[in-house]
Amino acid sequence: MRVSSSFALALTLLLVLSPATVASRVLLQEGEEATGEAAPAAEGEATATESEESQGAGDVCLTADFPLEFRSPVQFNVKDGFGPFKDGSLDLQCDCAGYTCKCSGTEENCDAYSVLWFYGLAYSHQFGSFFYDMPEYERKYHLESMIFWTVLGTILFWLGLLTIIYMELKAVSITRERDERRRLVQLRAMERSSKIVDLEKKEMLVMSPRAYITIAGAILLFVGLFFQLIPFCHLLRELGIPVAFHGFCILFVFVNALVLSASIVLLVLGVLWSCTRGFAALVLIVVAIAGDLMIFGGIAYCLVWMIVAGAVLYLYFSFLPELYKDYRDLSDPNNGRYPVWLQDAGNFELETDLEKITSSFHAAGKDFVDDISNNPVGSGLKDAGAKAQEAVNKMSGQEKA
């Protein structure tokens, strides 16, 4: 493309008023070829140029392309940072439009550290515009959006629920076996040998990650419910009712999903532990049913339930056991540690030692693999595979013969 004479004259003036390096970089980036030579700058003009440079007029030292288009031209300085996260010593001015960003600054302000901040800010603007446009996408593709959130939420919900059921069933079975061994020892029908001690240590190791796995399952369950309920906000927005939900629907869904997921988790725990800890299971089930009922009362009732439920669980599972720690009753099925009506729900402690946490998860993973391979379905598949391999070997041997 030929450059017009007026444009060449403008470029010549740019060479006179700016450093030679700036002009050359601009020419290279815009793909233009300048004709003619710049007139020699006067000594006073050179001094003025140097003073402008010292005042912050820097070169275009960085050009970057992005996969997403900026929805509008964006200008920012790297020293502004991310909200409270900023470094005022940096001074890299960036202009972004379309798919490209250009940043100008001195050489010391265009180092790797500044470039890292630049990419963080640029991508934050990219994703910020994406989330800014999300309501428009939801209105445009309403049905697809509802299906997506519902399917994703259902998958996460069942994944979390199955995680909780697996870990708690494991805890219930270990606790029942431990209680039975204690009864036999109390009846002098069995001696507490070193093998039993080693077995209990292994069981405690398997139970050690229980709190983390159950909490992780509860979080997945909550996120799944939240994603499933989000489409109702879109539906209410489309229908235009009720007015009270406008602007507060996300908060409404968040609180109700939190209460509903907590109630489901407590109900599952209560049902699973009802076979060995009847009174503790009753407390969990009553609290869970109360939470389900409070959902129909609104956010205020949900907040009240959260406070009351937390107080009841703390009172029953933490305060009262500490109060009755010196209680002894050999007729109690819980080894006489507490009154009959005061029961625990297995070991549910959070460790702070990273080495213990790692070893417990390693043991839990190994135990999970053993459960999969040793259950009837897994054993049947393993036997079927072995028989099929044996048949293939026989057939191949006959063919060779």
User: Does pLDDT of 39 surpass 50?
Assistant: no
* CB within 8 Å of 115: residues ≥ 6 apart: 62
Strands (DSSP E) found in 12-157:
59-77, 93-105
Binned at pLDDT 50, 70 and 90, residue 2 comes out as very low
Residue, of 49 and 76, whose pLDDT is higher: 76
Q: How many CB atoms lie within 10 A of CB 349?
A: 10
Least confident of 14-18, 61-65, 289-293: 14-18
Is 281 in contact with 270 (CB distance < 8 Å)? yes
Binned at pLDDT 50, 70 and 90, residue 336 comes out as low
pLDDT digits (tens, 9 = 90+) for 282-335: 999 999 999 999 888 878 888 999 999 999 999 998 888 888 777 655 555 444
pLDDT (mean) for 72-76: 84
User: Does pLDDT of 56 surpass 60?
Assistant: no
Percent of the chain with pLDDT over 70: 70
Binned at pLDDT 50, 70 and 90, residue 131 comes out as low
Residue 13 token pair: 């003036």
Residue, of 372 and 168, whose pLDDT is higher: 168
pTM of the predicted protein model: 0.60
Measured CA to CA, the distance from residue 100 to residue 96 in angstroms comes to 6
Is 17 in contact with 57 (CB distance < 8 Å)? no
| pLDDT, the chain, mean | 74
User: Does pLDDT of 233 surpass 70?
Assistant: yes
User: Does pLDDT of 171 surpass 50?
Assistant: yes
How high is the pLDDT of residue 124?
Answer: 79
Binned at pLDDT 50, 70 and 90, residue 202 comes out as confident
Residue 306, SS3? helix
Residue, of 41 and 377, whose pLDDT is higher: 377
Our CA dihedral for 136, 140, 144, 150, rounded to 10 degrees, sits at 40
pLDDT (mean) for 66-95: 78
Residue, of 44 and 77, whose pLDDT is higher: 77
How high is the pLDDT of residue 84?
Answer: 54
Which span out of 280-289, 335-344, 368-377 was modeled with the highest average pLDDT? 280-289
